[in-house]
Amino acid sequence: MKATAKNAKTVVGAIDPDVLAFTVGQDPVLDLRLAEWDCYGTAAHVTMLSRMKVTPKLFSQEERDAVLRELAKIRDAARAGKFKITEEDQDCHLAIERTLTERLGDLGKRVHTGRSRNDQSATAIRLFVRDQLFGTIEELLDLAKALVAFAKRHRKLPMVGRTHLQPAMPSSVGTWADAWAEELLGTGPFLAAACDRADLCPLGSAASYGVPLPIDRILTSKLLGFHGAVGNVLAAGNSRGKVEAETCAALAQVMVTLSRLAQDLILFSMPEFGYFSLPKEFCTGSSIMPQKYNPDVCELVRSKAAQVCGLSATANAILVGMPGGYNRDLQDTKKIVMEALDTTRASLRILARLVGGLKAHPDRLRAAFADPGVFATDRALELVAGGMPFRDAYHQVRDHLEDLRGMDPDEAVAKKTHFGAPGALSPVLAAHDALIRVLRADNRAVRARIARALRRLLPETR
């Protein structure tokens, strides 16, 4: 058992204030977000202890009820931002234990029987991360939906397709917007993998080596709505940090995609292109240049992506070469995963609204087809399909490029009708819409199941 700062004075000597500040770090602030989850973890642990077949009982039914009543109050205070964690508490776990002890005397201390701060904290973090990942998925689907909706509104609107940023071939606004939706949806399995890792219960692993008590880890796991328990107790201990690292890795993949969408928005809303305009309320302007709209939100998304990737790299770096069992380094992965989650979710939310208000400018989009070269490759392929030898087709097109001037971009888009091509986007859009609906229904079903379990464990007050 880890000594609290207070205990420390009598038991192992006072902790130096500078040392306390260095080691505790930002935990008293960060842990305000974990406190709610620790209440659930503690409620499950105490409930399990109260059902443990030992004589005398470690917790009577009444004692268990008393503890849960106080935990519900603490949870509500934490949600309302009214729960306090002092630096001497170090973290939410000791703050909750202290509060219980203040209110319930020795009964409060006994909640810690048969567990350690290691599994307690690992449990709260997994509950928190799991909840956040569900929220992330919901918001990712919102953005995907906004992109698909934008794609539908401008499904056939021509847009110059580029390679190397140079104009290359006819494409459409619908193709452009939907492509980012598809890439975003493609990161789903990574978020799901992170969720799977988080959704296993480490409670009862104690300090990674179990306890000589007949605790029931399967029961606590069920009470908390986990889809299973970590098996090996040391695996539970070692996975502290790993949950965070894998979550950050998945979030980084989301942010990479957002940054590329943001970059396209920055470029194509420059006055030299004018394809899109961002909603005015998402830009900063100039008090003197009324027509100037700076795409600050998109620029910041680009930088946020670099940051979440950096957090992912940092989480990995903390773990590389770390020996097994709990090491204090792991405390720092909490802040990292919180920052990665907050940043990713804020970026998803703001972009969903931004895309919702995005405007396309058909005149500018069509005007960009003035250079006939953009039609050349498609034209050559048509000649080939009509039976002209490959080499001849290319020469003919290249030598008569001017004949392509004035070609209709709408027609050019309409001609590409194979699966997934700009001229036949509807089935793809429908498939993406359907996928969003299915994923959302799944996500909500799982969340509802978990919410029910948690309400059963520690009812909502009203």
Residues 365-404 that bind a copy of itself (CB under 8 A): 368, 371, 373-374, 376-378, 380-382, 384-385, 387, 389-391, 394, 397-398, 401
Query: Could you say whether residue 425 binds a copy of itself (CB under 8 A)?
Result: yes
The active-site residue out of 286, 303, 395, 400 is 286
- Pick left, alpha or beta for residue 259 (phi over 0 → left; psi -120 to 50 → alpha; otherwise beta): alpha
Cα–Cα nearest to 354, from 263, 291, 265, 251: 265
- Taking CB under 8 A as the criterion, the residue among 85, 94, 266, 341 binding a copy of itself is 266
Look up residue 420 and give its two tokens: 């997934």
Query: Could you say whether residue 285 binds a copy of itself (CB under 8 A)?
Result: yes
Measured from the CB of residue 150, what is the shortest distance to a copy of itself in angstroms? Answer: 13
> Helices in 3-88 by DSSP H: which ranges?
5-11, 17-24, 27-30, 32-51, 61-79
Measured from the CB of residue 383, what is the shortest distance to a copy of itself in angstroms? Answer: 10
- Is 286 one of the catalytic residues? yes
Site for a copy of itself in 402-421 (CB under 8 A): 412, 415-421
Query: Could you say whether residue 87 binds a copy of itself (CB under 8 A)?
Result: no
The answer to whether the beta carbons of residues 349 and 142 sit under 8 Å apart is yes
The answer to whether the beta carbons of residues 160 and 368 sit under 8 Å apart is yes
Site for a copy of itself in 309-328 (CB under 8 A): 309-314, 316-328
The answer to whether the beta carbons of residues 199 and 315 sit under 8 Å apart is no
Nearer to a copy of itself, 131 or 264 (CB): 264
- Is 239 one of the catalytic residues? no
Which residue type is seen at 383? L
The active-site residue out of 60, 116, 121, 164 is 164
Distance CA 208, CA 199 (A): 18
- Taking CB under 8 A as the criterion, the residue among 62, 102, 296, 403 binding a copy of itself is 296
Dihedral angle over CA of 7, 77, 335, 42, nearest 10: 60
- Taking CB under 8 A as the criterion, the residue among 35, 423, 457, 458 binding a copy of itself is 423
The answer to whether the beta carbons of residues 421 and 179 sit under 8 Å apart is no
CA distances to 66, 203, 448 from 116, rounded to whole Å, are: 22, 9, 30
Site for a copy of itself in 171-210 (CB under 8 A): 171, 175-176, 178-180, 182-183, 186-187, 189-190, 192-193, 196-197, 204-210
Distance CA 160, CA 441 (A): 36
Distance CA 203, CA 116 (A): 9
Query: Could you say whether residue 234 binds a copy of itself (CB under 8 A)?
Result: yes
Only segment of 31-39, 53-61, 81-89, 135-143 that touches a copy of itself (CB under 8 A): 53-61
Nearer to a copy of itself, 288 or 461 (CB): 288
Cα–Cα nearest to 378, from 397, 395, 392: 397
Measured from the CB of residue 228, what is the shortest distance to a copy of itself in angstroms? Answer: 10
Query: Could you say whether residue 259 binds a copy of itself (CB under 8 A)?
Result: yes
Q: Cite the active site residues.
A: 164, 286
